[in-house]
Every structure is written in structure tokens, then in C-alpha cells.
């Protein structure tokens, strides 16, 4: 699943509503403080690393401890998240929610492009569901678009983002770009089913 929207567009809220349908969900927290996670995921278990997950936990946030410096914090996140992705591949059955996908994959930041691409490539056959959230669709790996079964796309007028979003399989790119560009409200999303035959539909996360 792909959810693409600018900051404040309701990505995390929409994701939280959707993943409630799954039995075991793990999300990755990257910010030192995240009000949306604290509010929308208040009943989830917060752990610092994968080894801290107990058998009874089925709603988990992996939230590494903040280090004294920014560089040290990013290095710690890379270490903890890389280990978690490796463990998820063998654990099977998890729904994996990754926010800030650009931050997670870009080599200037956490840089776990290969691990995340692998999870998208073999996840379905391994019983893993990937839920990807991003503010900038132009800057995340293309494999996310080719593997998406469900996509929720909020309004953007950035040419690079519109071009990447139009690459979702099975739709006329001009139609998708025009529909996304013309979405009327901040919390409106165009729902697409790239690998099925459902027509595009507008949904609103506030309704």
C-alpha cells in the first residue's frame, strides 16, 4: 500500500485506520517527538529495538532512543531499523508501516534502500504487507510503485511528483496526473487499485 501526501495531509491517520484490519503491525518512528504517533497510536507498544518485542505485542512502534547528536541519532536508527527489517524477513506475517520513506531510503539519511526494496520485492510471497507513507513521491524507489496493490494519493502540483505518481501501472498517466492535481481539499485522496480493475475514486480521511 502506498499513501502519498504533503505534511499535514493525514497520511498517518489514514494508515492507522487501515492497518487496524491486520493482526500484527510494526511501524518505524523516525522523529524525536511525533504528536500524531503519540495520539493516534497511543495504545501501541513502544520498543527501542526488535529484540524488545514480546510475544503478546501485536501493535508495535520501533522508536530508537535519541542520541546526543543528529549524526549519531541517524546512525542508531540505521542500525536498529536494518536489524528489524532482517528479522521481519524471517518472522513472516507482519504488516510493516514505514513513514518518511524518503528519509528511510535516501543515502544522505538512514539509507536503507536495499532492505526496503527487498521487502517490497519478496514481501507478499513471505506473508509481509508493506505500507509506505511519503511526502515526496518523486524521491522514493520505483519498486514501491510497481508492487503497490492499493494507493492513496493526495493533491500535489509538483511536476516531479506528478510524473512519478503517473507511473502507477494500469492507468492513463495524463488522467491520474490531472485528477491528483485537481483534488479539491487538503484531506482528499485519489484511491487507485493499480493491479486490479477498480476505477479511481476520491476518499476523504476526515469523513
Mean pLDDT of the chain: 88
d(CA 145, CA 135): 14
Q: Above 80 in pLDDT, residue 167?
A: no
Q: What is the mean pLDDT of residues 58-69?
A: 95
- pTM above threshold 0.75: yes
Split at pLDDT 50, 70, 90, the class of 2 is: very high
**What is the structure's pLDDT at 133?**
94
**What is the structure's pLDDT at 114?**
92
Split at pLDDT 50, 70, 90, the class of 7 is: confident
Q: Can you list the alpha helix ranges (DSSP code H) found in the chain? A: 11-19, 35-40, 70-91, 101-105, 113-122, 143-147, 159-165, 173-181
Q: Above 80 in pLDDT, residue 144?
A: yes
Q: Above 70 in pLDDT, residue 207?
A: no
**What is the structure's pLDDT at 169?**
60
Chain mean position to CA 94:
14
Q: Going by C-beta distance under 8 Å and a sequence separation of 6 or more, which residues neighbour residue 138?
A: 158, 160, 161, 163, 164
**What is the structure's pLDDT at 194?**
81
Q: Above 70 in pLDDT, residue 113?
A: yes
Q: Above 90 in pLDDT, residue 104?
A: yes
**Domain membership of residue 13 as a residue range:** 2-204
* More reliable by pLDDT, 183 or 194: 183
Structural domains of the chain, count: 1
CATH code of residue 188: 3.40.50.300
d(CA 75, CA 68): 12
**Sign of the dihedral defined by the CA atoms of residues 146, 139, 130, 15, in that order:** negative
Amino acid at each position: 500500500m502506498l499513501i502519498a501526501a504533503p505534511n499535514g495531509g493525514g497520511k498517518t491517520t489514514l494508515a492507522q485506520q487501515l492497518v487496524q484490519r491486520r493482526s500484527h503491525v510494526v511501524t518505524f518512528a523516525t522523529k524525536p517527538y511525533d504528536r500524531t504517533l503519540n495520539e493516534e497510536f497511543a495504545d501501541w507498544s513502544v520498543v527501542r529495538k526488535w529484540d524488545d518485542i514480546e510475544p503478546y505485542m501485536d501493535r508495535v512502534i520501533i522508536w530508537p532512543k535519541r542520541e546526543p547528536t543528529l549524526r549519531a541519532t541517524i546512525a542508531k536508527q540505521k542500525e536498529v531499523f536494518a536489524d528489524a527489517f532482517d528479522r521481519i524477513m524471517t518472522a513472516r506475517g507482519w504488516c510493516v508501516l514505514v513513514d518518511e520513506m524518503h528519509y528511510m531510503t535516501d543515502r544522505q539519511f538512514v539509507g536503507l534502500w536495499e532492505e526496503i526494496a527487498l521487502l517490497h520485492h519478496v514481501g507478499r510471497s513471505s506473508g509481509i504487507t508493506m505500507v509506505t507513507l511519503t511526502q515526496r513521491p518523486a524521491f522514493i524507489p520505483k519498486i514501491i510503485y510497481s508492487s503497490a496493490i492499493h494507493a492513496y494519493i493526495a493533491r500535489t502540483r509538483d511536476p516531479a511528483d506528478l510524473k512519478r505518481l503517473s507511473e502507477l501501472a494500469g492507468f492513463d498517466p495524463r488522467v491520474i496526473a490531472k485528477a491528483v492535481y485537481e483534488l479539491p481539499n487538503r484531506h482528499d485522496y485519489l484511491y487507485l487499485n493499480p493491479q486490479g480493475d477498480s476505477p479511481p475514486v476520491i476518499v476523504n480521511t476526515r469523513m
